């Protein structure tokens, strides 16, 4: 007797190379993963895409590069906002400043080594530390 063939568990994956490229292209243009997954021609949720990141090193690398490019696109958007402030009225400038502040915060979280306000100081060479201990004769109260 032949044993019955085992069917794979769960739903079949909707992953295709074309879909993965479409998602990564839109992310690299500055869009969020949730925004991309809400498009009509993207039949997966953001959690499915994040599962692909965990399951596929190739897709994880592609997604990582797209995320880096998204930060660059957002930086370009920040520069465009700065250009729009010239000659704008006070109300418009306040709105643009608010948007710029959000973008600066987002960039500092996306790529902290590049866009963070914190400075990292590195010390090289030999450092000496001298500890002086003095004996105090005065009794504690």
Which residue in 99, 46, 52, 95 sits closest to 77, CA to CA? Answer: 99
Residue 109 is predicted with a pLDDT of 86
Average pLDDT value for the chain? 85
Render 31-97 in DSSP notation, one character per residue.
--HHHHHTSTT--S-HHHHHHHHHH-HHHHHHHHHHHHHHHHHHHHHHHHHHHHHTT--HHHHHHHH
Residue 10 is predicted with a pLDDT of 64
Who wins on pLDDT, 56 or 118? Answer: 56
Who wins on pLDDT, 119 or 70? Answer: 70
Residues of 5-44 as b/e, b for ≥16 C-beta within 10 angstroms? eeeeeeeeeebeeebbeebbebbbebbebeebbeeeebeb
Q: Which residue, chain included where needed, has tokens 């500055």?
A: 30
Q: Which domains does the chain have, with CATH numbers?
A: 17-114 (1.10.10.60)
**Residue 45 tokens, joined:** 């949720």
pLDDT grade for 6, boundaries at 50, 70 and 90: low
pTM of this prediction? 0.68
Distance CA 54, CA 47 (A): 11
Model confidence at 129: pLDDT above 80: no
22-47 pLDDT, tens digit per residue, is: 999 999 999 999 999 999 999 999 99
Distance CA 2, CA 5 (A): 9
């Amino acid at each position: 007797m032949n044993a019955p063939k085992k069917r794979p568990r769960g739903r079949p994956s909707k992953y295709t190379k074309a879909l993965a490229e479409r998602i990564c292209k839109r992310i690299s243009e500055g869009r969020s993963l949730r925004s991309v997954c809400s498009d009509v021609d993207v039949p997966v949720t953001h959690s499915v895409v994040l599962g692909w990141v965990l399951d596929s090193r190739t897709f994880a690398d592609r997604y990582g590069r797209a995320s880096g490019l998204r930060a660059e696109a957002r930086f370009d958007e920040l520069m465009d906002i700065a250009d729009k402030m010239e000659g704008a009225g006070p109300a418009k400038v306040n709105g643009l400043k608010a948007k710029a502040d959000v973008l600066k915060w987002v960039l500092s979280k996306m790529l902290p080594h590049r866009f963070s306000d914190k400075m990292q100081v590195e010390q090289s060479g030999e450092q000496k530390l001298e500890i002086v201990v003095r004996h105090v004769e005065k009794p504690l109260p």
